[in-house]
Structures are given as C-alpha cells and as structure tokens.
Amino acid sequence: MRQLMTRDNSMSPRGLLSRRGMMRGSLVAAGSTVAASLALVEEAKAEADIPSWLRVPGEPVRSYGQPAETEADVKRAPIQIYKDLAPAYGFSGTPLQKLRGTITPNGLHFEVHHGGRPLLNPVEHRLIIHGLVNRQLKFDVATLERYPMVTGVHFIECAGNSFFNAIFDEPKQLGCDMLHGLVSNSEWTGVPLRILLEEAAIKPDARWVIAIGNDAPNLARSIPIEKAMGDAVLALYQNGERVRPEQGYPMRVVLPGYQGNMNIKWVTSLQVTSRPAYTKDESGEYTDILADGKVLDFAFTMGVKSVITHPSGTMSMSGPGVYEISGLAWSGLGKVARVEVSTDEGNSWSDADLQKPVLDKAMTRFAIEWKWDGKPTTLLSRAHDEAGYVQPTRTAWKKRYAPSNYNHYNAIQAWRISSDGAVTNAHT
C-alpha cells in the first residue's frame, strides 16, 4: 500500500478525505515516501554510490517487450477444479489487486476454458454464416481485414465470477485474483457482426444467431438477433494487437455487457435461426437456480458491480495514516454513475471520485483518500449504474437464489481490516 502524508486536515468524521485537498497536500510528500522506501532497500550502501547499471551500456532494443523480471509475481491465478482428470477445463483470474488503471494487459486477461485453448491454424480458420440467410457466406482472416472495423473498451466478466463469495458462507481468505478475477477490461477492435449478417442477408424470421467456437468442444451459445445486429463485434484485435490465443485467436465474439460465456472465442460459425438452440451451457451451467427452485435461463446482462482492489484481501496495511482507497466498477447496462465507499461497515457512505473516461459497459476506476486511525474496521464499495441499478448486499443477493447458485453474483464486497493491518475477506 502506498502511504501518503498530508497537510490537509479537512477530514470527515470517519476519516474519508476530500480528494482535491488530498492531491494538493500530498504531491511533495508522495515523492519523498517513494524515495524513502527505495532507501530502505539500499540502506547498506552509501547514498552517493554509483549503481552498476550506470557504468555499462544498457540492453539493446528487443522485438517484443516483456514485464520487468522483478514483476514476475504479477500473473494470473489458475484454478483447475478437476485437476488431471480434465486439465483443459479450468479458469485463471486476472490479478486485479496488482494492477492499476482500467485496461487489463493482454497476458493477464482472465481465462475460462471448457475444453482448453485450441492449437488452431489461423490460415485454415473460417467464419461461416448459414441458416436463415439468403446468402451462405464464408470469410477467412485476410478477407475480414478489409472490412470496416470499430473499436470499443469493454469489460468481459464470466457469469460465475466471484463464485467463492456466492457459495461459501464462511468467507474464503483469498486475493482479488481468486475471488473476483474472472473479469477483465480491454480495447476490442473488429468488424460489427451486423455488417457480416447484412451481407449474408438474414431472412425475416431470423431471431437468434448460434455462435460456435473452433475449439475441441465447439462451445456454442444462442445470441438474440437484437444484440447481434446491435453492438456485437467480431473482434480481431485486443488492446491493439491480435486477439491472444487465450481470448479466441484469430477471432472472437464480443457482446458488450453480456455474460462472458456468450462472447464465443475462436468463433467459426454463425447459425441464424428462429429459436434459441438451448445449447449445453444455456441448458445447465449458465442458468440460475432461484430461491424457490425455479430456473432462470437467458439472463444475459452482467449487473452493476464494484470491488475495492487497494487495499484488498491478503494485503497488509503499513500502519495508521493516509491511504488511497481505489477499486474498479462496471455494469453490463451502461456507464457507472456513482460509487460510494464506506469505512465503517456501511453506517456512512461517501462518494468516491470516478476517474475519466467513464465508458459504456467498461471498467471505471474509483478512488477516495482515507486516513486510517489504526482501529479495526470494514471497507465497502457500492456501485450504481446509469440505468438505476445498485449493488445489493450479500444477504439480499443470497435471498433471491438457491444456496448452490453462483452465477451473476454482484454483491457488495467487504474487506475487514484488523488492528494489526491484515486485510481479510468478510461477508456483511
């Protein structure tokens, strides 16, 4: 945790500080804190020693950059629930607590694979469009490169993200990567699906598009025609470079705001139909069991959600004093309108600052300065979206679903801080 010193004494009763005052007071102090921590590492040396890298030329240019070697612990958190029995069925979570800003580096975008990452040949890969169309068409990658493309920053969140919190009444002591890491945020560039479907000339009774992947189980989902002809994109690029193999190389479907499973990776077929196919995932795993035992299908939109990433579970505070509480918020219904933060178990709330730009169906970074008095407390964040939805408490969320249900969990995350500074996962 970055600890800041301040001259600003304009503090609310619960220690939350006005950000403007904080920024004014902290600029000089922040710099000296960084210098001080570097000095700790190098304290055996005299300050005036000339370090080794100043006595030799640096490394030459390289064709593809890599993170600093000292950042090797910034990596995804893999979960293989069936271990060696089905190693290709697994997840890996984005280490949200080790990142700042809003864009997920491509190598850290979360994965959920139902049949592994295919080693497909991009030259042989085709996207075909068939079914209720007047012209059955096929496209290779080179042809799609000639089509008009659009770019948008959007989150993709697995419907089952945060499943540990959804299922277990005793909170699991894990970090944000394991607890909430099945969400990432990227700039996606590609061809609007609408253009390709227009070229295929869909018939009047076309109501659904079954998108099918070029992976071992040929994962398939039914997409309503309104979405396919709306903001759906056939993405070829992810943060400027080709879509990564883990995210669907050479092409994937991106459906802004919809559950991750529908954003078909390695997409190879668009089957236009009059009805949904009730594919395996929309028949089982991606349905919701409600409290009364009934089952909800085709719940596409990911609801408004937020999580404080700094500080968060498994971290330790470095003593009482001033901190920046920072986190991420998103909604599948549009822009994040407001994020409130509580540092007293929800007794009082203050609006955090939303960092610009606040984009549609994309992650927004929120932040608020806070002076921790060293006493045990609980931090909470509660996001609102422009459609008027607000994050529920865990208790309220659990009341609506069966105990085993974990999809669409978007309840408020609570982080308990003990007097010794340990930050732990808590349910409120």
Site residues for another protein, 220-259, by CB under 8 A, read: 220, 224-226, 229, 257
Quick check: bond before 311 cis, omega within 30?
A: yes
Here's the x/- map for another protein, 26-65, by CB under 8 A: it reads as ----------------------------------------
135 near another protein, rule: CB under 8 A:
yes
202 near another protein, rule: CB under 8 A:
yes
Nearer to another protein by Cβ, of 196 and 362: the residue is 196
Beta strand 127-131 with 267-273 is: parallel
C-alpha torsion sign, points 240, 241, 243, 245: negative
* Interface residue with another protein, options 26, 104, 247, 269 (CB under 8 A): 269
Question: What CA–CA distances, in Å, run from 70 to 22, 66, 73, 74?
Answer: 31, 11, 8, 9
How many positions of this chain bind another protein (CB under 8 A)? Answer: 75
120 near another protein, rule: CB under 8 A:
no
Nearer to another protein by Cβ, of 61 and 85: the residue is 85
Residues 279-308 that bind another protein (CB under 8 A): 279-280, 283-285, 287-289, 293-303
Residues 382-421 that bind another protein (CB under 8 A): 389, 400, 402, 404, 408
Q: Residue 24 corresponds to which tokens in the numbers above?
A: 């004014």
Q: Least distance (Å) from another protein to the CB of residue 138?
A: 4
DSSP string covering 72-103: TT---EEE-TTGGGSTTSEEEE--GGG--SSP
Instruction: For residue 208, give the 3-state DSSP assignment.
Output: strand
From the list 278, 272, 298, the residue with the least C-alpha distance to 287 is 298
Indicate left, alpha or beta for 334 from its phi (over 0: left) and psi (-120 to 50: alpha): left
Nearer to another protein by Cβ, of 29 and 137: the residue is 137
- Within 10 Å of residue 404's Cβ, how many Cβ atoms? 8
Stretch that binds another protein, among 32-40, 169-177, 263-271, 420-428 (CB under 8 A): 263-271
212 near another protein, rule: CB under 8 A:
yes
Nearer to another protein by Cβ, of 62 and 146: the residue is 146
* Interface residue with another protein, options 18, 173, 239, 273 (CB under 8 A): 273
From the list 309, 276, 286, 280, the residue with the least C-alpha distance to 408 is 286
* Interface residue with another protein, options 1, 29, 74, 88 (CB under 8 A): 88
